[in-house]
């Protein structure tokens, strides 16, 4: 349970970085690192010369820019035009939308409103990533199909980072895993077909889950129809692994403790960027930051356990100060080179360093207020199958205190999945308390969670706790007549417990787990749990098939839904066989990405991730909820 959230350490690091403040003038306050220097402070001789060089360069650039703008203003061009109201009414309106029925009703209502007002316009609707016939039917029902021209923009892949591609379809999870809507499968197949067209055929294909199998089969049909595009090409990606989100709900429901995951849980990363508020920037405005490998500071801490982040930031501050101190003793020419070549990069790193320190402090304040340590302790107890009664009491207290409706639902779902469903009496009790605390409008949410398999009741004979498992080992044949029901319960024991045991998802270590030098992927959950999805990928890659994992596949209820295709592996180079594309259908978490990056470093693989959307526990619960915030 090594989650270190030390406010004292945060204060020391902040003070250390402030002392290394990069202020080219005196630092008046060791608080916010991005603050402007005090203009009234005294200058050292070297610093004065450095600023004179920098000011000269700025004046030269400003003069050049002014001349360029002046030439552009003097160049002949078309006279400015002004539009009349009549002309403006005839402007074409273009809608770039998701193919959803409610969006079509909005467009239809706008077109009909223009008709009633006597305005004549042209309308164009562009669907992304694809056009659905159902949307055109809605326009026809509303009587505007003849007034609107429809097209589609097949924009299915958005690169969020050097190793992360997203389809940005957050609705995929609810549409498929709750509603059973299969329309996005064609979009997934098209994305896979595009990648195989760009990088050649994939020699080895593995997958598990119903959605994965359907996407794979449709993708193969597309490939057969256009086989000439990739025929004869050498593959650049050696393996592809498709995995449904419902194969591993547990990982997505756990609290994240790697830095990137915590930033996502706390501030919500959207399309690879995050909005840091005034509590992070220590100013009166927010700051939008792009989080990817281009951010040197973030790239080094993104996969680290949060307890290690402050130590890195402190060391980074000292390193930056050492680089900046090299300016002392420089002559004018050396200072000019320093200013033009290095100073800008150092200042950028310093700005990013201050932002991430502010983010860490904000995370610590929020998690300390939420009693994060006790929450993590409860989650680990649920994963290990111990102290279930105490964990249930913690969830009941969480509900009664009305801490968060989403968090309460998440803990209930985690309890349900790890225990293979709740005892009927316990299920009714938790459900009643939840509805009394948060309102009866959440009743439909419980129905959704039951349908998705996230929050269920146990059928008679399904219960098997850790204690019963131990007692069952003592059962002898002589007592068989009296405990037939016990053997029946053994046959229906918790799938998660059995899977966890077979795949060694709960590491057994002597002493404290070393988070600074992690030994396995369990570090992403403080050494308490190896993500099931990542362990499956590791095991399949070692075996190059699902052979030997038949029992695990059966326990995952995917007996007919695990597939392997290795028809073209002989054409792949040894380098391409180390490159693996992992496709998450229904979303993946930053914890899973960090775990697989760790596995890649340990085994010599390089992973590329394709997901329908980046998700976390809160997004999963919001997708199931019928009460919108």
Candidate from 1-15, 40-54, 190-204, 207-221 with smallest mean pLDDT: 1-15
Domain locations along the chain: 86-152, 158-254+529-624, 259-366, 371-459
Measured CA to CA, the distance from residue 161 to residue 294 in angstroms comes to: 9
Class of domain 259-366: alpha beta
pLDDT in tens, 154-171: 888 999 999 999 999 999
Measured CA to CA, the distance from residue 474 to residue 240 in angstroms comes to: 45
The terminus-to-terminus CA distance of the chain in angstroms comes to 32
Sign of the Cα torsion 264, 268, 274, 275 reads negative
Give the number of other Cβ atoms within 10 Å of residue 138's Cβ.
19
Residue 148, SS3 per DSSP: strand
Q: Max CA-CA distance within the chain?
A: 104
pLDDT in tens, 52-92: 777 888 888 888 887 777 766 665 555 556 666 666 566 78
CATH number, domain 86-152, options 2.60.120.650, 3.40.50.2060, 3.30.1370.10, 3.50.50.60: 3.40.50.2060
Work out the average pLDDT over 516-543: 93
Measured CA to CA, the distance from residue 100 to residue 95 in angstroms comes to: 13
CATH superfamily label, 371-459: Sec1/Munc18 (SM) protein, domain 3b (1.25.40.850)
Fold match flag (86-152 vs 158-254+529-624): yes
Work out the average pLDDT over 2-15: 44
pLDDT in tens, 263-312: 999 999 999 999 999 989 888 888 999 999 998 899 999 999 999 998 88
Residue 6 pLDDT: 44
Measured CA to CA, the distance from residue 244 to residue 582 in angstroms comes to: 11
- CATH code at 158-254+529-624: 3.40.50.1910
Say if CB 144 and CB 112 are below 8 A apart. Answer: yes
Measured CA to CA, the distance from residue 300 to residue 305 in angstroms comes to: 11
pLDDT in tens, 157-214: 999 999 999 999 999 999 999 999 999 999 999 999 999 999 888 889 999 999 999 9
Residue 16's pLDDT band (boundaries 50, 70, 90)? very low
pLDDT in tens, 318-369: 887 777 666 676 767 766 666 666 666 778 788 888 999 999 999 998 888 7
Q: Which of 82-96, 125-139, 449-463 has the highest mean pLDDT?
A: 125-139
Measured CA to CA, the distance from residue 292 to residue 273 in angstroms comes to: 8
Q: Global pTM?
A: 0.80
Residue 461 pLDDT: 55
Residue 485 pLDDT: 36
Residue 120's pLDDT band (boundaries 50, 70, 90)? confident
């Amino acid at each position: 349970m090594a989650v270190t959230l030390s406010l004292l350490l945060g204060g020391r690091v902040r003070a250390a970085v402030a002392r290394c403040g990069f202020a080219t003038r005196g630092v008046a306050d060791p608080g916010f690192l991005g603050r402007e220097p005090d203009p009234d402070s005294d200058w050292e001789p070297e610093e004065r010369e450095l600023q004179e060089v920098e000011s000269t360069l700025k004046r030269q650039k400003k003069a050049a820019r002014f001349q360029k703008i002046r030439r552009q203003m003097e160049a002949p061009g078309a006279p400015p035009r002004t539009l009349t109201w009549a002309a403006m009414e005839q402007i074409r309106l273009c809608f770039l939308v998701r193919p959803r029925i409610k969006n079509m009703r909005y467009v239809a209502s706008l077109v009909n409103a223009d008709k009633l007002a006597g305005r004549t316009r042209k309308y164009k609707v562009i669907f992304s990533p694809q056009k659905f016939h159902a949307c055109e039917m809605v326009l026809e029902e509303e009587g505007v199909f003849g007034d609107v021209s429809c097209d589609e923009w097949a924009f299915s892949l958005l690169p969020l980072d050097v190793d992360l591609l997203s389809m940005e379809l957050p609705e995929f999870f609810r549409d498929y895993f709750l509603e059973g809507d299969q329309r996005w499968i064609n979009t997934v197949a098209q994305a896979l077909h595009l990648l195989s067209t760009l990088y050649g055929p994939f020699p080895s294909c593995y997958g598990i889950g119903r959605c994965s199998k359907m996407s794979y089969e449709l993708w193969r049909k597309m490939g057969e129809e256009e086989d000439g595009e990739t025929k004869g090409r050498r593959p650049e990606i050696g393996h592809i692994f498709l995995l449904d989100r419902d194969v591993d709900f547990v990982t997505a429901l756990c609290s994240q403790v790697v830095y990137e995951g915590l930033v996502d849980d706390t501030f919500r990363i959207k399309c690879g960027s995050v909005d840091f508020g005034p509590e992070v920037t220590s100013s009166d405005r927010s700051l939008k930051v792009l989080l990817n490998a281009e951010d040197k500071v973030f790239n080094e801490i993104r996969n680290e356990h949060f307890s290690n982040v402050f130590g890195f930031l402190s060391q980074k501050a000292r390193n930056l100060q050492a680089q900046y101190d090299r300016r002392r003793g420089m002559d004018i020419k050396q200072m000019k080179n320093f200013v033009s070549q290095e100073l800008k990069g150092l200042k950028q790193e310093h700005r990013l360093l201050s932002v991430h320190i502010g983010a860490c402090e904000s995370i610590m304040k929020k998690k300390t207020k939420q009693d994060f340590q006790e929450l993590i302790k409860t989650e680990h107890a649920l994963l290990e199958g111990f102290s279930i009664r105490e964990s249930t009491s913690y969830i009941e207290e969480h509900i009664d205190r009305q801490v968060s409706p989403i968090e309460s639902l998440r803990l209930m779902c985690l309890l349900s999945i790890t225990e293979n469903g709740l005892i009927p009496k316990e299920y009714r009790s938790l459900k009643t308390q939840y509805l009394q605390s948060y309102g009866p409008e959440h009743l439909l949410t419980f129905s959704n969670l039951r349908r998705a398999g996230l929050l269920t009741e146990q059928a008679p004979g399904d219960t098997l706790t850790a204690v019963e498992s131990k007692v069952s080992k003592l059962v002898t044949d002589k007592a068989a007549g009296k405990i037939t029901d016990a053997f029946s319960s053994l046959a229906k024991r918790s799938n998660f417990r059995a899977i966890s045991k077979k795949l060694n998802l709960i590491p057994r270590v002597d002493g404290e787990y070393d988070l600074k030098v992690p030994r396995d992927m369990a570090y992403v959950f403080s050494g308490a749990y190896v993500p099931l999805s990542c362990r499956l990928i590791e095991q399949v890659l070692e075996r190059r098939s699902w052979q030997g994992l038949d029992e695990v596949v059966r326990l995952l209820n995917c007996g007919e839904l695990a597939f392997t295709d290795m028809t073209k592996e002989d054409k792949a180079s040894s380098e391409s066989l180390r490159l693996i594309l992992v496709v998450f259908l229904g979303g993946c978490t930053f914890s899973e990405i960090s775990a697989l990056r760790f596995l890649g470093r340990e085994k010599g693989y390089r992973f590329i991730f394709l997901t329908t959307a980046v998700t976390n526990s809160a997004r999963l619960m919001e997708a199931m909820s019928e009460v919108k915030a």
